[in-house]
């Protein structure tokens, strides 16, 4: 296969470069063993970019992100940039990427690897085999709605206010992502809002129902209030396949679902944008965790969240499901063999470095590909 797929790798700060170094080994392995080749370009983002260029992402890097078939990001941030002006803080690089790539659908899988079932705070029978995908609307809703502000009313009462607003195209495009995903998974979508108390919730439900009837009637659609969804996630999480929800509820519910799996070092994510004229969907993949300054530079971070983000990239940007499956199966086998980084360490297991975790994963991939 020719190297016509372009990948922009942005390791970022803190543990970002350490975990990304392990991903680069997986990328090379895919080229060597599966004929899956990428034109890889690596660049700076976050504090590293600020130190080099005085901005959390340079215009050239931003353009490279817009031009790439997919972006893989490590993490940004760290205390050394606390004093930097807000518009140049490491997080500004991430926000610019999300905004200019128009990444409106955030995909957060909550999957429990069988060997880590004990890491969850929930009982094993509640979480074993868990495989949920949360699709959160990422660029609209109350975090962006106008008007917003803090002011004083004519009678002297002080108030703060935000505005939850969604247009029908905003709901439709994220709902399409959820329905399409469901078709490739368990064929079920729970659409989550608060239509019992919010007009925007009534509208959300109406638009999702309309789209379902018009285009996705083969997918099972259920509606659920967000507060009930939070409850059901810890009570009977396996009832869910795909959860579709807005920016605010998705923020809360995806963190709640993530913790069912027990470890931040295991959680990947994807953010998808619109499909362009050439049929290409802009996309950025990144671990859920941050730059972990407390362990940076010590080669102890868990690289699996970023490696699993790369497997999502193969699956969702390139349709390489079998290659993604291979990485995920290898990760499962690796954990089954008792290898652990510090964050997921359990009694009787072998504690290894970030580098060894990456090398051990390649060995498991070799075995599966043999
Ligand atoms: P964090 O996710 O970086 O770390 C939280 C805790 O989890 C730490 O104890 C850390 O050591 C541990 N941890 C995280 N990832 C791990 C991994 N792969 N392996 C082992 N342990 C891991 O969150 P934080 O401490 O709140 O934030 C640190 C910095 O990261 C801040 O500057 C914050 O702004 C930034 N941040 C960036 C992103 C991002 O780039 N998307 C996300 C969250 C936080």
191 lines ligand 1 (CB under 6 A): no
Instruction: Kindly give the number of the ligand 1 atom that is closest to the alpha carbon of 79.
Output: 32
82 lines ligand 1 (CB under 6 A): no
Using DSSP, state whether 341 is helix, strand or coil: coil
Closest by alpha carbon to 221, among 260, 188, 255, 175? Answer: 188
Extract the tokens encoding 292.
Answer: 């972990």
- Computed over every residue of the chain, the mean pLDDT equals 95
Mutating to test ligand 1, I would choose from 48, 264, 335 the residue with most ligand atoms within 8 A of its C-beta, which is 264
109 lines ligand 1 (CB under 6 A): no
d(CA 351, CA 338): 9
Lowest-confidence pick of 11-20, 83-92, 187-196, 219-228 = 83-92
Extract the tokens encoding 177.
Answer: 């992502």
Closest by alpha carbon to 303, among 322, 330, 321? Answer: 330
Instruction: Kindly give the number of the ligand 1 atom that is closest to the alpha carbon of 77.
Output: 32
Instruction: Go through the domains of the chain in sequence order and give each one's CATH number.
Output: 1-111+263-370 (3.40.718.10), 131-260 (3.40.718.10)
Number of Cβ atoms within 10 Å of the Cβ of 306 = 30
Amino acid 263: pLDDT: 80
d(CA 341, CA 301): 7
95 lines ligand 1 (CB under 6 A): no
108 lines ligand 1 (CB under 6 A): no
Specify the DSSP class assigned to residue 44.
-
d(CA 16, CA 59): 21
Please indicate whether residue 322 or residue 121 has the higher confidence score (pLDDT).
322
Lowest-confidence pick of 52-56, 112-116, 203-207, 274-278 = 274-278
Number of Cβ atoms within 10 Å of the Cβ of 276 = 10
Instruction: Please give the positions annotated as active site.
Output: 143, 194, 227, 251, 255
Report the nearest-CA residue for atom 34 of ligand 1.
Answer: 77
pTM of the predicted model, to two decimals? 0.94
Instruction: Kindly give the number of the ligand 1 atom that is closest to the alpha carbon of 46.
Output: 40
Closest by alpha carbon to 224, among 195, 252, 197, 203? Answer: 195
Using DSSP, state whether 106 is helix, strand or coil: strand
Specify the DSSP class assigned to residue 302.
-
Q: How far is CA 280 from CA 66, 118, 259, 317, in A?
A: 11, 40, 32, 8
- Residue whose pair of structure tokens reads 């970023």 in the numeric block: 306
d(CA 53, CA 44): 9
> Residues 261-281: pLDDT tens digits?
878 899 999 999 988 888 889
CA of 77 to the centre of ligand 1 (A): 9
11 lines ligand 1 (CB under 6 A): no
* For range 281-298, the mean pLDDT: 97
> Residues 70-124: pLDDT tens digits?
999 999 999 999 999 989 999 999 999 999 999 999 999 999 999 999 888 899 9
């Amino acid at each position: 296969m020719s190297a016509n797929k372009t990948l922009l790798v942005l390791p970022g700060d803190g543990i970002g470069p350490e975990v990304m170094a392990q991903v680069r080994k997986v990328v090379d392995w895919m080229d060597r063993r599966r004929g899956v080749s990428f034109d890889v370009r690596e660049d700076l983002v976050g504090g590293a970019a600020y130190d080099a260029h005085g901005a959390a992402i340079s215009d050239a890097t931003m353009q490279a992100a817009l031009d790439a078939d997919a972006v893989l990001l490590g993490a940004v941030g760290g205390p050394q940039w606390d004093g930097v002006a807000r518009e140049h803080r490491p997080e500004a690089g991430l926000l610019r990427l999300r905004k200019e790539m128009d990444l409106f659908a955030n995909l957060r899988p909550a999957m429990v690897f069988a060997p880590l079932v004990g890491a969850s705070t929930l009982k094993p029978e509640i979480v074993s085999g868990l495989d949920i995908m949360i699709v959160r609307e990422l660029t609209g809703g109350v975090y962006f709605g106008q008007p917003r502000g803090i002011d004083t009313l004519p009678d002297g009462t002080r108030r703060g206010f935000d505005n939850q607003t969604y247009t029908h195209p905003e709901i439709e495009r994220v709902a399409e992502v959820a329905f399409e995903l469901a078709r490739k998974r368990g064929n079920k979508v729970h659409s989550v809002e608060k239509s019992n108390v919010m007009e925007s919730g009534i509208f959300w439900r109406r638009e999702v129902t309309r789209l379902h009837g018009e285009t996705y009637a083969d997918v099972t659609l259920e509606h659920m209030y967000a507060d009930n969804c939070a409850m059901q996630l810890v009570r009977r999480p396996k009832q869910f396949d795909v959860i579709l929800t807005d920016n605010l509820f998705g923020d809360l519910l995806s963190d709640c679902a993530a913790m069912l799996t027990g470890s931040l070092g295991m959680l990947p994510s994807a953010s998808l944008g619109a499909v362009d004229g050439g049929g290409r969907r802009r996309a950025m993949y990144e671990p859920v965790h941050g730059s972990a300054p407390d362990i940076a530079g010590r080669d102890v971070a868990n690289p699996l969240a970023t490696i699993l983000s790369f497997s999502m990239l193969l699956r969702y940007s390139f349709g390489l499901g079998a290659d993604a499956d291979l990485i995920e199966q290898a990760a499962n086998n690796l954990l089954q063999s008792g290898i652990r980084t510090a964050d997921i360490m359990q009694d009787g297991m072998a504690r290894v470095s970030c580098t060894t975790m990456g090398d051990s994963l390649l060995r498991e991939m070799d075995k599966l590909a043999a």
